[in-house]
Structure 1
Amino acid sequence: MQTTVNNRSTCFHCGEDCPDVPYHIGEKSFCCEGCKLVFQLLNENGLCDYYDLNANPGRHQRIKVRKDKFAYLDDEKIAQRLIRFRQENEVHTTFYLPHIHCSSCLYLLENLHRLNPGISRSQVNFTKKEATIIFDEQQVSLREIAEILTSIGYEPYISLTDLNGKKPGLTKTMIYQLGVAGFCFANIMLLSFPDYLGLEEDTPLFNTAFRYLSLILALPVLVFSAMPFYTSSFKALKMRFLNIDAPIVLAIWVTFGRSLYEVLTGTGTGYFDSFSGIVFFMLVGRVLQDKTYQQLSFDRDYSSYFPIAVTRLKHEKEESVSLPDIVPGDTLLLHNEELVPADSILTRGKAFIDYSFVTGESVPVLKEVGEIIYAGGKQVGSNIELLVIREVSQSYLTGLWNRNGNVTRERRSSSFVHRISTWFTYIVFAIAIVTAGFWAYADPAKIWTSVTAILIVACPCALLLSNTFTNGFILRILGRNNLYLRNAEVIEEVATVDHIVFDKTGTLTTTDQHRIDYKGRSLSAQEQQAIASLAAQSLHPLSKAIAAHLGKERISVKAFEEKAGHGIEGIVNDDLYAIGSAKYITGRKYAGTDTNVFISKENQLVGRFRFRNQYRETVPTLLDELKGKYNVTILSGDNAGERASLRIMTAPGTELLFDQQPQDKLNYIRQLRREGHRVMMVGDGLNDGVALLESNIGIAVSESSNAFTPASEAILEGKQLGKLHSFIRFCKSNRKIVMASFIMSILYNITGLFFAVQGLLSPMIAAILMPASSISIILLSACTVHITARKLGLTN
């Protein structure tokens, strides 16, 4: 393999550096043959507008996807479970495409029909990174569509979860409930205008008809749209707990009951507008909350991480097999970047296994023939063969997951909103009883009118509105900063934290960068250039890291040869260089525990590159911000080699614990909670799962919000870890904002009660107070949340 480069250029397709320049079309340069082929494909089909929308919008194609990777989609049983609709010549399917990132992607993916006539239409959901494709299976198969997407740089991610049909998000029922409530509320308001304007005496016939129409429109709101509040209050009462939904349900029924009475007896128009408005605005708040985290699934299992099928060797032939059909004794063929689906023994080849998902450690581990490879690891390198020794459901990975599932949290304390609403309800009942007693002596005819008016006006819906909208706005802003909470209740939990426990590897450190130290004789600039050029020829992650670390201009490499699992060698500047393991370079195994890559020149040892974890740039600042405000502990499964570095960054008294196994982390969190601490655990990898579940708040750090993460209360993108202190402060503002909105609503309630206790609450006053109260609370919540976020640097 020989490459030559004089000047570094960027790829026209993906924008990455071109270390080699043999790939040209006219004046356009490409970093690899794959990028060049994608450009040719788009050019032949008139889709080069793709490059006009964004500069270098593509993704590099240096890692080729093997030809039969999607062969399992030819299996009708698997294909049927991925197809959403099938009728004659029209089939609908949806693929998750994690590489969607810009408007160029939308343009290209919505023009797939120009690449293959069998595709009639494609539509992209940018937020969910999904593409819905409609095609004729007589002209193109599901497998071919997956291959087309892969060929243009949008390889679909298909996992067992897709087969199980697990899709997080808003339920259709909630959308229908909101739609019905909004439709009915708007029409009832229109039908109530004669009453608002005092025209009921001028149009008595129409007025009566409008009242009955309002009654008919209110019935779906009562029976269907308000169902979430009935369900919530019923569950709470079964647990002997009075949540905020219980008094709201009472207010809903009292409002409807009095309105029904007035319409049937002809004594009034009722409060159907207020009744439907209450339900509509509260549903809007809940949908706002749910929509914020609809793209994420927090209750994940191993099927979210594993692919649908792998290659099995049977009678010396390759066949695709779905994971549930794998049994002990099967021989599996694993390719580069594929996951180990079940605990197995390596029977052929050299395995470099990336266990970053399970352990958080990103440096691949070398495995020799005869060694056990546990499920969840990813092969990095050439093909290997594995003998399955356990079923997928009985592997080490699923054992870890099931252990996580056995950890249960104590029941959380009720929200401060529920506690306030309980006292508020008692006060309202007291006012109603006093009012009823007064009118029993003064004018018994006004008892019904005044008491029902009090229960209608003093409904704690304003408190719920304030809470749901404030939570919704906070969740949205946190989501824009790549912190996704399981639900709104987590906001209050975050605000009460007093002890923060960090995992080190993969949390405080990055999984895609390393600190590289060189030990050995001094290298000249020419030697560094030669080593960088040789390392750049390999796809091994450690070789690529060395090439990036040296960063020298590439030169010609001759007689290049790579021995999988050992190292690489080649002639550079007429000298023989080799890079690889200690045994490959020196003939002896390295006795240390750290990760090293050895270098030789003309068969003489030159030195070695030592790999250490790279801390995220924001970690020192974050740890400094937390000093004196929270107790901090750092747990690590690694040895204590990083103790000195961490001691410099942390406050005196910070506990640093190393060589911690999953059970050790779990026991430590339990001990903190027994001591009365409110614990936040920040970690990544499945081995942190039990500790995340045991803590009051578990935050799973991920390099991508769509990547697999352990069950947790929150998912945080790794790049945003430095904002953790700001996130906690932002969540603490929640209570102040809700209380400010609640005080405003009390002012409206006092105004309404002033008229209600006297039996003077007219439809006009009710029509003004209800929307004015709701809208002003929403505006106050929105303004205060965004002002607070701006002060904390969470918005521009």
Structure 2
Amino acid sequence: MESNSCFHCGDDCGKHPIKYQDKTFCCNGCKTVFEIFNENDLTCYYDLQNSPGAIPKEIEGKYDFLTQENIIEKLTEFRSDSIEIATLYIPHIHCSSCIWILENLNKLNPNISDSQVNFGKKTVRVTYNSDKTSLKEVVMLLSSIGYEPYISLDDFKSGKKHINRTLIYKLGVAGFGFGNIMFLSFPEYFEINEFWLEQYKPFFRWLMFAMSVPIVFYSAQDYFISAYKGLKAKVLNIDVPIALGVAVLFIRSTVEIMFDLGSGFFDSLAGLVFFLLTGRFFQQKTYDFLSFERDYKSYFPIAITKINRDGEEQSIQVYDIEKGDRILIRNEELIPVDGILINGRAKIDYSFVTGESQTVSKESGDKIFAGGKQTNGVIEMEALKSVEQSYLTQLWSNDVFSKNKEDGFTNITNAISKHFTIAVLSIAFISTSIWLFLDPSKAMNVFTAVLIIACPCAIALSAPYTFGNLLRIFGKLKFYVKNATVIEQLAQINTVIFDKTGTITSNKDSNAEYDGDLLSDSENTVLKNSLRGSNHPLSRTLYNILEANNIITLDRFEEHVGKGIEAKHDNIALKIGSASFVGNPENNAALNTTVHVSSNNVYKGKFTFYNSYRKGVSKLFNQLKKEFDLVILSGDNEGELENLKKLLPTKTKLIFNQKPEDKLEFIKYHQSEGAKVLMIGDGLNDAGALAQSNVGIAISEDVNVFSPACDAILDASKFKQLYSYIQTSKSAIKIIKWSFVLSFFYNIIGLYFATTGQLEPVVAAILMPLSSISIVVFTTVATNLLGKRIE
């Protein structure tokens, strides 16, 4: 019989279907979408899932409002001369086909450079060339292929939050089918053999079959899709045994009623899917309740300098920024919020946002966007709105802009789950084969019960809940970790490397003395304003020490990483930095940390710093020395060598005069020798070393240290607790392993009853979510106890 369902959307085509290329469509809209995909060689969209599309709505003239500048301004999160980025809420996103086509929009419109789907939030983030296409054309393209965005004109927001009720619908279908199939099975349960049962028995059985079809092909479809994708990628994921169990029950039951061999196991099948979905629903609700991700983002620590009305500079947390605030952005600092440029010469690197490293110049009065990094000295801006923490964290976590340290790293769940799945399948087939000889009537029950009772849900839940809760706890304790993988890698380190200046020394308590020719008032003003634009720890220290001077806009500012600063104003050209950088190489042998100054290529003098080490440094190093190799890698000279020898354990390696590239190569070499390196630095000069290390931690001390190179940010006030954070990460791995042990014992006991034929599949399906609940409770309570130990 010829199918009358639409090839694109799956709807009934009615009495007048549209035929095209031997395919049936319900309307010209669906036919047009197919033609678009066909012309652009995108018909493999339909290979991912049958009838994945939606009927395109009539769109002519519907989106004319998207040509209005004030609406475009509200809907776009980033706008430059030629690039715009908008995040659109797409209610129809529902399957892998949707993700695939929405992330291939560039093939339908070459002016779209990138599109990223967030399946959980049902959004697509589209980057496009605004000179050649427009937001209206992007939205019309989405609508024409059946993915019409939801745009609210009331508040100009795209992506108004809608609750995803798909799981609830699937659970409802499974629950309805389960209840009715159980009711229809009662006569056979109690072996009632009156004439009416014999007369209507076939009807009841086929009715149970009919009710089980939507349960298998709708309610349980996620398990089959996941298992298929895993097998296609040659990976045995945790849904393979579940899908196999459901399929076996359904096929076996269907064969039994077709050949009148019995009533089958439709009741067990419906109960299995219902309780599986109940467990998944519980997991989802619990995860939403704990809100790991949302909680730790709200503690994101980036600080910014706010200029008060009387001109005073005050360091505040970014989430305290309000509309209208005047903000100071230094060289290499991130712009945390959209605003208007007031003073200074802005040269902004938007690679965090757009992926393109070319800088954009802005003048006073121009709008600048959050996510850009100032690269040309200090600027002042006025905030146009408050900060969205999730947006900043999204930039920080974007692996496109950072070295992917997860390459070659296998997390604990993946390492175990593959072997677990193989073991479960082996036990299922072996025990079933044995029962085929002992008692064939029990063989199918044994096979199904084994697959269900040994469901690896508990294993799958252990790591996400443990690490997720720990992310939240660390955030409250001012240790801000990028993602769960960082915690797992932190637990494996065996070498800890520290930068010196700004890391084990405190900027706030350091002091400096000047030795040399006196600087003129004009030179002092240029010096103060040059230091004002830098985030280097020595620059910040010296800036705080020097007397206040007039705020001026420099004609030129350039910061050379690891060397120093060049600045020019009117007829004064200053160099501030190392002795060799300013042109005075004979001073390289100075014993203390020094910053040298030259004016118009004439050497003026030097500032000698007397370091103040952070409280608890000696105790921290003595704690670390028991388990780790310790190294100090400093760009300074050996002036602090004797002080450090007295302060730190004898086995600590002390290496000085290291350029940023030297630090990176040092780490790379030791990694090749088997070292798992933790690098702690200031996030600026140490960016390369932080990126190369297995885990890179940037120290935050009232400064915007946002860097894609670091994996975590540690508040300077919590520096002495670093050892506790590392130990807690190791304890988290132990918690996961203990939860695996609990799951293992549960599975061993359950498998005993399943393989001996004493466990019905429906009972196994009830026990499975209970095991998941116990694992979630255990990991949550255990991690909360860990958190209290380090508070």
| Shorter-chain TM band | 0.5 to 0.7
Q: 2:439, 2:204 → 1: CA distance?
A: 33
Q: Equivalent residue for 1:460?
A: 456
Q: Equivalent residue for 1:787?
A: 785
Q: Equivalent residue for 1:415?
A: 411
Q: 2:357, 2:434 → 1: CA distance?
A: 79
Q: 1:706, 1:232 → 2: CA distance?
A: 42
SS of the equivalent of 1:438 reads helix
SS of the equivalent of 1:781 reads helix
TM-score by length of 2: 0.54
Q: How does 1:29-428 map to 2 (within 5 A)?
A: 93=74, 171-173=120-122, 179-185=165-171, 188-189=174-175, 192-193=178-179, 200-201=186-187, 215-216=213-214, 219-220=217-218, 222-224=220-222, 235=233, 237=234, 246-261=236-251, 264=254, 265=257, 266-267=263-264, 268-269=266-267, 270=269, 271-277=272-278, 279-280=280-281, 305=334, 376-379=375-378, 411-428=407-424
Q: 1:416 to 1:88 in 2, by over 3 A?
A: closer
Q: Which range moved further: 218-227 or 206-215? A: 206-215
Q: Equivalent residue for 1:440?
A: 436
Q: 2:284, 2:500 → 1: CA distance?
A: 41
SS of the equivalent of 2:490 reads helix
Q: Equivalent residue for 2:661?
A: 663
Q: 1:631 deviation in Å? A: 1.1
Q: 2:407, 2:642 → 1: CA distance?
A: 39
Offset from partner CA, 1:504-540 (integer Å, 9 cap, x none): 23333455x25125689xxxxxxxxxxxxx99xx988
Query: Structure 2: where are the runs of 5+ without partners?
Result: 1-64, 79-87, 89-111, 124-160, 190-200, 258-262, 303-330, 382-399, 516-523, 533-537, 555-573, 577-581, 599-604
Q: 1:485·1:715 contact (CA, 8 Å) conserved in 2? A: yes
Q: 1:509·1:616 contact (CA, 8 Å) conserved in 2? A: yes
Q: Equivalent residue for 1:729?
A: 727
SS of the equivalent of 2:435 reads helix
Q: 2:553, 2:162 → 1: CA distance?
A: 57
Q: 1:756, 1:419 → 2: CA distance?
A: 26
Give the aligned length: 534
SS of the equivalent of 2:493 reads coil
Q: 1:330, 1:693 → 2: CA distance?
A: 25
Q: 1:772 to 1:672 in 2, by over 3 A?
A: same
Q: Tell me which of 627, 630, 633 is aligned to 2:628.
A: 630
Q: 1:218 deviation in Å? A: 5.4
Q: 1:464 deviation in Å? A: 1.2
Q: 1:693 deviation in Å? A: 2.7
Q: 1:91 deviation in Å? A: 6.5
Q: Equivalent residue for 2:487?
A: 491
Q: 1:715 deviation in Å? A: 3.5
Q: 2:681·2:698 contact (CA, 8 Å) conserved in 1? A: yes
Q: 1:475·1:488 contact (CA, 8 Å) conserved in 2? A: yes
AA partner of residue 451 (structure 2): L
Q: Equivalent residue for 2:741?
A: 743
Q: 1:168 to 1:435 in 2, by over 3 A?
A: closer
Offset from partner CA, 1:37-81 (integer Å, 9 cap, x none): xxxxxxxxxxxxxxxxxxxxxxxxxxxxxxxxxxxxxxxxxxxxx
Q: How does 1:558-637 map to 2 (within 5 A)?
A: 594-595=594-595, 611-612=609-610, 614-637=612-635
Q: 1:333 to 1:248 in 2, by over 3 A?
A: closer
Q: 1:329, 1:754 → 2: CA distance?
A: 65
Q: 2:293·2:472 contact (CA, 8 Å) conserved in 1? A: no
Q: 1:272 deviation in Å? A: 1.0
Q: 2:700·2:716 contact (CA, 8 Å) conserved in 1? A: yes
Q: 1:258 to 1:426 in 2, by over 3 A?
A: closer
Q: Equivalent residue for 1:715?
A: 713
SS of the equivalent of 2:74 reads strand
Q: 1:615, 1:427 → 2: CA distance?
A: 55
Q: Which range moved further: 326-335 or 212-221? A: 326-335
Q: 1:495·1:731 contact (CA, 8 Å) conserved in 2? A: yes
Q: 1:312·1:332 contact (CA, 8 Å) conserved in 2? A: no
Q: 1:312 to 1:166 in 2, by over 3 A?
A: farther
Q: 1:263 to 1:177 in 2, by over 3 A?
A: farther
Q: 1:180·1:220 contact (CA, 8 Å) conserved in 2? A: no
Q: 1:785 to 1:562 in 2, by over 3 A?
A: closer
Q: 1:416 to 1:647 in 2, by over 3 A?
A: same
Q: Equivalent residue for 1:504?
A: 500
AA partner of residue 241 (structure 2): A
Q: 2:163, 2:360 → 1: CA distance?
A: 51
Q: 2:551, 2:627 → 1: CA distance?
A: 53
Q: 1:687 to 1:474 in 2, by over 3 A?
A: same
Q: 2:484, 2:357 → 1: CA distance?
A: 43
SS of the equivalent of 2:686 reads helix
Q: 1:719 deviation in Å? A: 3.5
Q: 1:669 deviation in Å? A: 0.7
Q: 2:539, 2:693 → 1: CA distance?
A: 39
Q: 1:704 to 1:498 in 2, by over 3 A?
A: same
Q: CA RMSD in A?
A: 6.0
Q: 2:669, 2:655 → 1: CA distance?
A: 14
AA partner of residue 468 (structure 1): P
Q: 1:790 deviation in Å? A: 1.3
Q: Does 1:773 align with 2:766?
A: no
Query: Structure 1: where are the runs of 5+ without partners?
Result: 1-83, 98-131, 133-162, 343-356, 358-374, 383-403, 521-533, 552-556, 566-580, 599-606
Q: 1:516, 1:492 → 2: CA distance?
A: 39
AA partner of residue 378 (structure 2): Q
Q: 1:649 to 1:254 in 2, by over 3 A?
A: same
Q: 1:281·1:774 contact (CA, 8 Å) conserved in 2? A: no
Q: 2:361, 2:453 → 1: CA distance?
A: 71
Q: 1:180·1:225 contact (CA, 8 Å) conserved in 2? A: no
Offset from partner CA, 1:700-730 (integer Å, 9 cap, x none): 3344797521324333344433322111111
Q: Equivalent residue for 1:516?
A: 511
Q: 1:662·1:688 contact (CA, 8 Å) conserved in 2? A: yes
